[in-house]
Structure 1
């Protein structure tokens, strides 16, 4: 992990971020989505202040970003996140570095809850999130079809211990 750095994501990262996203989608256990969006759609759906890329030198190995869960003011401190790591870089601490960066960023902004939904088959992601302080809050059974089969989604959240 000593070679890794993190910086805010910007438009110059678009091609690589979307390629890492697509690689995760191609693995079949990352999302109900099957095709990464355009950069315009990706950019429009995520909060600019909480998007980061992890790099080894100049190579982007992964990314993390958040979306608001609601436009209602009462939910201003709740976000949903996604974290994707290039399959070739998994097991190097990239995901944890990205989550730690995201947690620091969101807490500094007064965000008290980060939530996510993960397929139960994605054991590595579930373990990563639990090590980063997320807890399982439930399972949505057979919530949607993906590649012609029903999929469950494990719901996780991380509540800030400092924002009350």
Structure 2
């Protein structure tokens, strides 16, 4: 008898909350597992401490997703791209999904909530760089309104993991808000 494939979580099976210091041990575990794939980031390790993570992420736009049992399914956060006031509405985001939750709608839920959170505060552009080999992430971002704006070929040398020693490309993506950043809105 074959086991049926995992089904997407229903909308009531995924709860999204602000990411806090109490979540850090689980967030760090999911982060490290994503890094270990070699398709998430050029960083070889997650930040060592909550303080290092906390100071690098915008405090109003850090989210976690949990299932009905309370298990951490994933997290998303943003970082300002520049301290210059003209870029106050531009952030770079990160999203990591627990290995057992991938392909089950968690990423979509987190990105939808992140878009709402950032737009509500006047952020007009969310951007990131993805490894083009990470097809699931590329598809998720396209489905949530991100577009490819460029490709950086051989931008950096991978220093760890299964692709250590290889030069990697990244795809630059962005999502421009249709409501934030217009003449009628302002960054709060």
Query: Which of the numbers 145, 151, 164 marks the counterpart of 2:168?
Result: 151
Matched residues in 2 for 1:31 and 1:40: separation?
A: 20
Superposition deviation, residue 87 in structure 1: 1.0
Q: Larger strand proportion, structure 1 or 2?
A: 1
Runs of 4+ in 1 over 6 A off after TM superposition: none
Q: How many residues align?
A: 164
Give the corresponding residue for 1:139.
151
- Provide the secondary structure at the position in 2 that maps to 1:126: helix
Query: Which of the numbers 98, 104, 121 marks the counterpart of 2:116?
Result: 104
- Provide the secondary structure at the position in 2 that maps to 1:49: coil
Alignment of 1:79-118 (within 5 A): 79-118=91-130
Query: Does residue 177 of structure 2 align to residue 160 of structure 1?
Result: yes
Give the corresponding residue for 2:41.
31
Higher alpha-carbon Rg: 2
Superposition deviation, residue 69 in structure 1: 0.0
Superposition deviation, residue 41 in structure 1: 1.0
Query: Does residue 15 of structure 2 align to residue 5 of structure 1?
Result: yes
Superposition deviation, residue 88 in structure 1: 1.1
Query: Does residue 59 of structure 2 align to residue 48 of structure 1?
Result: yes
CA RMSD of aligned residues (A): 0.7
Q: TM-score with structure 1 length normalisation?
A: 0.98
Gaps of 5+ in 1: none
